A and B are shown apart, each in its own frame.
Chain A
Amino acid sequence: MQILLLEMKRVVKSRMTWIPLLVAAALSVMISFSVISDAQYLSVDQDGKAVKITGMDAIRASKEQARPYEGTVTEAKLRDALAVFQNVSRKYGEKIPTAEFYNKLVPPSYFLNMIGTVYAGGGEEQDALGKVNPDDVGGFYRRRSEVLKNDLEAKYPGSQDVVRQARKLNDKVRTPFVFQDGYTSDNAANLCVLIFLLVLIGAAVVSGTFAADYQNGSDDILRCTKNGHVKFAVAKLCSSVLIVLAMFAVCILIFVLSVDSAYGWDSLRTSVQVLFPLSFLPFTVGQAQGATVLAGLLTLLAAVCFALFASAKCRHPTTALTIVLAFCILPAILHSVADGNIADFLTCVLPTGGAGISHNFFNQLNQSAFVQIGPFRVWAPYLTIGAAILEIPLFFVLSIRAYCRHQAA
């Protein structure tokens, strides 16, 4: 315990630690600020000129405009939204005046997207919106479940298991959906960017934990002491993990508190299906955000434990850092250059797999990607989280072993 305290004090005092930690805090402030200031609201003034409002004002204006549609997503509201669209397009055809578009079509845009997705039947959403009979929208929720099932059967032919797993989750989805304007999928994407950067910084910071001591020779004295083997290794591991956890907690709190209070806490009640109509995740966007943070935390821990293992194995901190950074960007590279089951599997399973910009976890939660493992198909978010949960203790123990077995040159 005494060792842990002294070690934490030492690590925090080191420039190699506090500078990256400050950078992380600064990044989270910057990202939060940009997420809020990037909010846009477009409208047209009396002279027919386009007006752009940004930031908090835009968020407020957008909420004001969406008010009639907020609350429970009833089939009546869906029908109204569709009627608005069909009236406008009947009147103007392809050339909808800007003012009409902003005033009439933007407020129900989530509703139109839901109808379009569910009734597209493989075709264009816009076409679907023109053709659907408003009376048919009465069966929206039933129709959505059917479309979901058909899509999965087409995507994973012959795999009843996938359909069954998805149905089980989908049965828990609360209908009718709830809509409160505010939270957008961009907010979640930016949260994922922040998590990715925190994983990168956290893993990089701890990559010197053991290797730097090997390199500068201070390790020789320390490992010759009574508590210099397992106890010291555990103290060093815990100190690294605690410091990185503190960084994560502070940075995520900065982001969530500022962004969610700007966009409105009530908007977290929105069902994820309003954003992703065919998602079978039985969550509100607030819960999905929480799950994303949790998965980010697990990924961070897995990545940090992996980095500590690399550090205990490598003689030079630069080697350890290089390996760690390579592993941090590997999932992103795999995701973009290769596809197919193996790439998907690796992307999920790598210690850094839960953090990425292109394959962000929030999107993964709302998509129906199943990864094949032997005879089983596992929903990608389960695999990502499961792998991290296994890897945390695995790499923790491997690090202790590697440290105790390290042979000074």
Chain B
Amino acid sequence: MELTLNRLTKRYKDKTAVDSLSAALTPGLYGLLGANGAGKTTLMRMVCGILSPTSGNVALDGRDTVAMGESYRDLLGYLPQNFGYYPVFTAMDYLLYVAALKGLTKGAAKVRANELLETVSLQTVAKKKIRTFSGGMKQRLGIAQALLNDPKILVLDEPTAGLDPKERVRFRNLISGISKDKIVILSTHIVSDVEYIADAILVMKDGRLVHQGRPEEITASIAGRVWECRVGPEETGRLTARYTVSNLKHEGERDMLRIVSDGKPCESAVPVEPTLEDLYLYYFSSETDPGIPGEEGNR
């Protein structure tokens, strides 16, 4: 099974959200990393077929997914970034409703819905109206909904938004457990969501894929560009103003700085092994805020 994105482009009036993006995805978990506005959502909506590309296409094993229609959608599970729900529905009602649309029989739908409610720890509130749910509960229900048809292609747009740390860990384990024979695309702007579970990382910036590869490969690409140095307080001020500082720690009189920079930032700096977070900062250093959990940028 191979999902290919062929020069996928989406242009809005004055903005190219996704710019001639090509990729070939085989089963595995893909972490789609990018700042707010990078074009992740736009890309995923095109992969799911709810947004028509300005040009280019998405193909599954060589067949155009728009032409495949129903048979492609049957393989698809999608969790949008901001999704709506019917407030009168209970969690169970909602899952049964989506299951019917996914073509599950009534009996199978009941079994599957119960299983998934258990998986996302919502079984105790299965009969509660969605209206009364917290953000994290809604998000978990959204994840359950995406898994109903045991999709072969699972597209999750910022699935961890609104989850608390404990739920994030649970979610990570869940996803890494199910991603074996599936193509899972998970977008996030939080590096730690995908750092240890992704088989590959796709880094997106201004509508293009700027990097793609296994997490360790991809961090290797900035080897020699991450530094650590121990400096005095006035030096700290100068360095933070000039460079991208990925970490700052006070150690008594002196400060320990971790800096992402092409050149050596100061005399005492020594190169260290880069992490995915350093990589992220390397690419998005010019942008504001690399991401606060739960923050929503756009849609």
Interface on A for B, CB 8 Å cutoff? 2-3, 6-7, 10, 13-15, 213, 215-229, 232, 407-409
Chain B minimum-CB-distance residue to A232: B101
The 8 Å CB contact of B100, one of A3, A213, A221, is: A3
Query: Complex formed: what's the CA distance from A408 to B149 in Å?
Result: 23
Known: A227-B102, A229-B73. 9 other contacts (CB 8 A): A3-B101, A6-B96, A13-B88, A220-B84, A221-B79, A224-B49, A226-B103, A228-B101, A232-B101
Contacts of A224 in B (CB 8 A): 48-50, 73, 76, 78
Let me know if B20 is at the binding interface, CB within 8 A.
no
Chain B minimum-CB-distance residue to A225: B101
- List 19 contacting pairs A-B, 8 Å CB cutoff, sorted by A: A2-B105, A6-B96, A6-B100, A10-B93, A217-B83, A220-B84, A221-B78, A224-B73, A224-B76, A225-B76, A225-B101, A226-B103, A227-B100, A227-B101, A227-B103, A229-B73, A232-B101, A408-B45, A408-B51
Q: With A217-B82, A408-B45 in contact, is A222–B101 under 8 Å at CB?
A: yes
Let me know if B69 is at the binding interface, CB within 8 A.
yes
Inter-subunit contact A226/B83 (CB<8 Å) = no
The 8 Å CB contact of A408, one of B50, B74, B106, is: B50
Query: Complex formed: what's the CA distance from A6 to B103 in Å?
Result: 13
Query: Complex formed: what's the CA distance from A7 to B84 in Å?
Result: 16
Contacts of B196 in A (CB 8 A): none
Q: What's the minimum C-beta distance from A17 to chain B, rounded to whole angstroms?
A: 10
Inter-subunit contact B106/A2 (CB<8 Å) = yes
Q: With A6-B96, A408-B45 in contact, is A225–B73 under 8 Å at CB?
A: yes
Chain B minimum-CB-distance residue to A9: B93
The 8 Å CB contact of B84, one of A3, A217, A407, A409, is: A217
Q: What's the minimum C-beta distance from B13 to chain A, rounded to whole angstroms?
A: 12
Q: What's the minimum C-beta distance from A219 to chain B, rounded to whole angstroms?
A: 7
The 8 Å CB contact of A218, one of B48, B84, B96, B299, is: B84
The 8 Å CB contact of B74, one of A2, A14, A226, is: A226
Chain A minimum-CB-distance residue to B85: A218
Considering the complex, which residues of chain B in the window 57-114 have a beta carbon less than 8 Å from any beta carbon of chain A?
69-70, 73-74, 76, 78-80, 82-86, 88-89, 93, 96-98, 100-103, 105-106
Chain B minimum-CB-distance residue to A221: B83
Contacts of B246 in A (CB 8 A): none
Contacts of B105 in A (CB 8 A): 2
The 8 Å CB contact of B80, one of A6, A220, A232, is: A220
Inter-subunit contact B86/A218 (CB<8 Å) = yes
Considering the complex, which residues of chain B in the window 31-71 have a beta carbon less than 8 Å from any beta carbon of chain A?
45, 48-52, 69-70
Inter-subunit contact A223/B50 (CB<8 Å) = yes
Inter-subunit contact A221/B70 (CB<8 Å) = no
Query: Complex formed: what's the CA distance from A13 to B131 in Å?
Result: 14
